[in-house]
Amino acid sequence: MARTPLPAVPRWTVLAAWATVLCTVPSCVWRLALGVGVDVGFTGRLGELYTGPAIAAYVLLLSVGSQAAACLTLGLVRPWGERVPPWVPRLGGRRIPPVAVIVPAAVGATAVTALCAALTLVPGGPLDNPDFPRGTAGLVMDLCYAPMLAWGPLVGILTVAYARRRAAGRSPELAR
């Protein structure tokens, strides 16, 4: 059975995928600073709550998780997002069904976009809490989290580009 090669990955999508990874770095650094005890500006009840080993473990897990999720976006532009890597036992070399990538990527893009929008745009939301950082500390926090607003839309754009590229690479034999 002849296989039609997939179209080349456009350079802009590779750059956009790396941008998704970079979108999460400033907030991860900010959270890790909080986790190791740096005063990031929380006051009152939140200032007391956001200290100690429990918060350190939480921000470490959250930072590692968000960075890992962002790195998965690279699969939308790398060969391992189209074929299982050869070193994977029993599955290595098999083509990944596009739906197995597109659905989770679309759900993730929607969830991250909705969460970021809710946190920043909803009046009376968590950012309106008087114990949140204010002044310079608030500005630093805002600057560290602002790139997160681009993460979801970038993943959405990359998901559409991936779906189009995979659809263009279908041969009549594979479509059956």
Neighbours of 134 (CB within 10 A): 12
- Considering the entire predicted model, what is its pTM? 0.84
Q: Any long-range contacts for 42-48 (C-beta under 8 Å, 24+ apart)?
A: 42/131, 42/132, 42/133, 43/130, 43/131, 44/130, 44/131, 45/131, 46/129, 46/131, 46/132, 47/131
pLDDT, one tens digit per residue, over 59-108 is 999 999 999 999 999 999 999 999 999 998 998 889 999 999 999 999 99
Q: What is the pLDDT along the chain (176 residues), one digit of tens a residue?
A: 444 455 689 999 999 999 999 999 999 999 999 999 899 998 888 888 888 899 999 999 999 999 999 999 999 999 999 999 999 899 888 999 999 999 999 999 999 999 988 888 777 767 778 888 889 998 999 899 999 999 999 999 999 999 999 988 764 433 33
From CA 72, how far away is CA 159, in angstroms rounded?
12
